[in-house]
Amino acid sequence: MALRPVTRRSVSDQVFDQLLDDVVDGELAAGEPLPSERRLAEVLGISRPAVREALQRMAQTGLVEVRHGGATTVRDFRRAAGLDLLPRLLVRAGRLDVAIARSVVEARAEVGPGIAALAATRGGPALAPALDDVLEQMADTADAVAWQERALDYWDLLVDGADSLVFRLMFNSLRTAYQPALAALAPLLADEVGRVEPYRVLTAAVRAGDAGTARAAAARVLAPTGETLLAAFAALEDQP
């Protein structure tokens, strides 16, 4: 029997998701005032504290501006929100947002080589043994989901080696957004399982402290996955 974790979603979570969808989809435009807490509670059939909690989360995420004693106004989330919103945007109402997914892949392709170059410069030989351990796990893996998980572990080590807080926070957000989709994406990425050699080249460059080669090797590592996913996303967009 396959058991799955039970997820209990609070009322405020559900309100947050409804308002998030309306803001992202443009139903609530930037600069538009929201109904009062009292009115939202009446319309949604919930308590005012639950509405207040959802609005506070909206404000913390950069979706609305709450003015003391005044209206709560919708903000332009593209200019005000941070990467912490990304996991919420990637999958909404159980469906993958193809445009957001594409942007994740594109960001990965641009940021990854920079992380690898810094890891070679700042991590160097000290980082290589941990990378070798993950590579051995990848070499022994035949499962597509497990392969992707080990690949994420490998990049997690590179981010540590890069010693950049901004890259760490970016990676955390991208991983949080990407990881729940691994099982669905695994069939698309099954052909990558066992292709350890590009990772070995990257590891050798990190061990040697060669930032230029590490950058190029990282691009080579990321390219097949990126191309496969972008092609899949394009096919999804073409579907009626």
Determine contact, residues 148/179, Cβ cutoff 8 Å: no
C-alpha distances out from residue 119 to 72, 127, 136, Å: 44, 8, 20
Determine contact, residues 62/82, Cβ cutoff 8 Å: yes
Give the pLDDT of residue 1.
30
Per-residue pLDDT tens for 92-143?
777 778 888 888 889 889 999 999 999 999 999 999 999 999 999 999 999 9
Residue 216 banded pLDDT, cuts 50, 70, 90: very high
Look up residue 84 and give its amino acid: D
Place of tokens 């594109």: 106
Token digits for 27? 């139903």
Q: What pTM was estimated for this model as a whole? A: 0.81
Give the pLDDT of residue 76.
93
Spatial distance between the Cα atoms of 115 and 126, rounded to a whole number of angstroms: 16
Out of 14-23, 61-70, 128-137, 142-151, least confident range:
61-70
Q: Report whether pLDDT(26) > 50.
A: yes
Q: Which domains does the chain have, with CATH numbers?
A: 11-81 (1.10.10.10), 86-238 (1.20.120.530)
